[in-house]
Amino acid sequence: MKRMGFAAAGVAAILAIGLTGALAEDVPVFEITIKDHVFTPALVEVPAGQEIKLVVKNLDPTPEEFESYDLNLEKIIAGGGEGVFNLEPLEKGQYKFFGEFNEDTAQGVLKAK
Ligand SMILES: [Cu+2]
């Protein structure tokens, strides 16, 4: 949660110094859906070394907690809701994530390359 707050503050600061919205729009967006407590795609390939935005849509009627120790992310996403994560540039590698409420099935990997 702290990390997300920091990222949001960073975006606000960028806007405040007068850069156009085009900069924010250039951040690539990657969408992950949760359905039947399974992530699709379960392997998300993203570019390393640049900011990205992750949008996690929960298509289940029940809440899920999207969590990643590797990425230091944690957020409860209501049933039918979505969570948005602004990620700082990642080093190349694999970053596991999971749904804490359904860990048996809700497993995925973000691969930065
Ligand atoms: Cu958690």
Which pLDDT tens digits describe the chain residue by residue (113 residues)? 445 555 555 555 544 444 545 555 689 999 999 999 999 999 999 999 999 999 999 999 999 999 999 999 999 999 999 999 999 999 999 999 999 999 999 999 999 99
**Which residues, chain by chain, have CB under 5 Å from ion ligand 1?**
65, 67, 74, 100
* Domain locations in the chain as residue ranges: 27-112
- C-alpha Rg value of the chain to the nearest Å: 14
pLDDT of residue 1: 45
pLDDT of residue 29: 97
Burial class (CB in 10 A: 0-12, 13-18, 19+), 97: buried
pLDDT of residue 2: 46
Q: How remote is the CA of residue 65 from the centroid of ligand 1, in Å?
A: 6
Work out the number of other CB atoms within 10 angstroms of the CB of residue 49: 10
CATH number of 27-112: 2.60.40.420
Q: Note whether 104 and 35 are within 8 A (CB).
A: no
Q: How remote is the CA of residue 95 from the centroid of ligand 1, in Å?
A: 16
pLDDT of residue 10: 52
Q: How remote is the CA of residue 24 from the centroid of ligand 1, in Å?
A: 28
Residue type, 41: P
Q: pTM value? A: 0.78
